[in-house]
Structure 1
Amino acid sequence: MTEVLLAGLCTLDILQLVEKYPADNEKVTALTQTVAAGGPATNAAATVAHLGGTATLLTAVGRHPLAAGIHADLTSLGVRLTDLTADDPGPPSVSSIVVSAGTGNRAVVSTNGAARSISPLPDLPAVLRDISAVQVDGHYPELAVAVLTEARRQGIPTLIDAGSWKAVTPALLPLLDVVVCSADFHPPGITAPHDIAHFLTDSGVRWIAISRGPDPLLRWTGSDFREQPVPRTPVVDTLGAGDVLHGALTLAVARRWPLTDASFAEALDEAAAVASRSCASFGTRSWMSASRSSRTDSC
């Protein structure tokens, strides 16, 4: 079984589906709710496990009572959690998310874990010994740099969920093999897709793509972009779709490494199909149940 390591943020996500967002000082009754572990690396790990890979998550959770919900969710999904702050009594990062039933749009209030430090780091050579690919999300910068550095030393492919530019990004880019960035990822003073691709190439990144929601992915060939269509699906909730994309991509890259232009395109198509499926149901876990039911019905 393909083993993947993901390092980064873990939150407790509380999601409410509503007919409309509340106005100031207004209360609305949710149509439904769900609670799950969240965060880019965490949702990616859940995706890897759902797709049949072995997912190890390096993150910070702690021993606050709220952490029990995170542990229960990840255990049910088969994600191997390595909590680097297991003795921390403080609460985990929490995200409060309101999703509009009419549009699938969302409003999010969250903490990003910046106040929690991770030290000491684990024995990374041993942790990575049987790993086939590594993904970081840029949260916990010291952890991200250490994981990518050791992965590079061991010849393990490295990826990042590049949702936005972070202060640590310049230190990470030379350690990365694959960068799939969102349309909101802009190096300082750079906005045009071609300029972003050249910037990443100059930083040492070989495999590059830009995700643009429902619009075609842009895959960099080394000299230009090729468009790769994203499967259409009725959108209920886009929360976590980018995380799902990166989790599915990391597993697909691990199974195809070393990459060629053709196999990178295949990996992107495979990941985009999974991410699109995740938008057809509410929350970050319901799509997995729907996927399992579909596979059972087809047997």
Structure 2
Amino acid sequence: MTLSDRVRLVFAGLCTLDILQLVASYPADNEKVTALDQTVAAGGPATNAAVTAACLGASATLLTAVGRHPLAAGIHADLASSGVKLIDLAADDDGPPSVSSIVVSAGTGNRAVVSTNGAARTLSTPDLSLLAGAQAVQVDGHYPEIAAAVLREARRLGIPTLLDAGSWKPVTPSLLPLLDVVVCSADFRPPGVTDVPAFLAAHGVRWIAISQGPAPILRWTGGDLRPQPVPSTKVVDTLGAGDVLHGALTSAVARRWPLTDDTFAESLDEAAAVASRSCASFGTRAWMRKP
């Protein structure tokens, strides 16, 4: 693949410094345990999606907030080694970056997460000319003003737009009319809504799916939901699997745009295969180094 063959993708959203520790079992109150393994990497929905896309051969640009605190050096180094172009909208911020402390149970692959979401940071306005030539844009709903600005400009340029809808956010209703593809988790629940796909379709979204972990993805066809099985795998760690799904999906959609029912189904299958593979190793990076 030459540089000219790579799809150009832009991701906008949260970036954290993820500190992950693998334990035999979760500690009880006032108990200390020794970790079996640990890893430190940049994280957050849009960030993990951008790293995934870069791993799959795309040219990935990330708009986010990192700052110049000493801890930010680790984020810069990780993203650079992952091939992601970082545009830091909080480059002059002296405060520490958002940090996620994550404990993963070796027995189940489940995790406990304590994090901050960066909501208090002041961001500069991005130069939206960077969207020229992009083949898809994905946002995660963090930093709402940035998400809205990026989606509006992408829509003006005719670039397909995607949302990682992991959970309902107050900004979500204002973003939906600007979106082509929304894949939401089973935890995504608009207030008072029982039929999520119909709700999204009523707001103008055409390509909709619901991810359910190891259960089949539910793909909206415009009239009903059709299940798409996901590959089974021996689960070691589920952290970031949804982010990986969205990064792989953004790349797949960009290569198949404009979508049909068949190519949307193909894109979901491709993304699910990558996300399942990511669950077979500890952390959000090890799967990328495996053949």
Give yes or no for TM over 0.5: yes
- CA deviations 1:146-180 (Å, max 9, x no partner) are 00000000000000100000000000000000000
> Match of 2:178?
175
- CA deviations 1:13-43 (Å, max 9, x no partner) are 0000000111111100000100000000000
What is the distance in 2 between the residues matched to 1:228 and 1:287?
Answer: 23
Deviation at 1:84, TM superposition (A): 0.6
Aligned partner of residue 235 in structure 1, secondary structure: coil
Deviation at 1:235, TM superposition (A): 0.0
Are positions 1:128 and 2:125 aligned together? no
> Match of 2:120?
115
Aligned partner of residue 17 in structure 2, secondary structure: strand
What is the distance in 2 between the residues matched to 1:37 and 1:182?
Answer: 22
What is the distance in 2 between the residues matched to 1:196 and 1:90?
Answer: 38
State the superposition RMSD in angstroms: 0.5
Contact persistence 1:117–1:140 (CA under 8 A): no
Aligned partner of residue 259 in structure 1, secondary structure: coil
Letter in 2 for 1:274: V
Aligned partner of residue 90 in structure 1, secondary structure: coil
Q: TM-score when scaled to structure 1? A: 0.95
> Match of 2:102?
97
> Match of 1:223?
223
Q: Percent of aligned pairs with the same residue?
A: 79
Q: TM-score when scaled to structure 2? A: 0.98
- CA deviations 1:82-138 (Å, max 9, x no partner) are 00111111000000000000000100000011111212x1220x1100100000000
**Correspondence for 1:87 among 80, 87, 92:** 92
* Structure 2 unmatched runs, 5+: 1-5
1:63-212 aligned within 5 A: 63-119=68-124, 121-124=125-128, 126-191=129-194, 195-212=195-212
> Match of 2:61?
56
* Structure 1 unmatched runs, 5+: 295-299
> Match of 1:2?
7
**Correspondence for 1:42 among 31, 47, 50:** 47
Aligned residues: 286
Q: Which runs of 4+ in 1 moved over 6 A?
A: none
- CA deviations 1:180-231 (Å, max 9, x no partner) are 000000111123xxx1111111100000000000000000001111110000
> Match of 2:243?
243
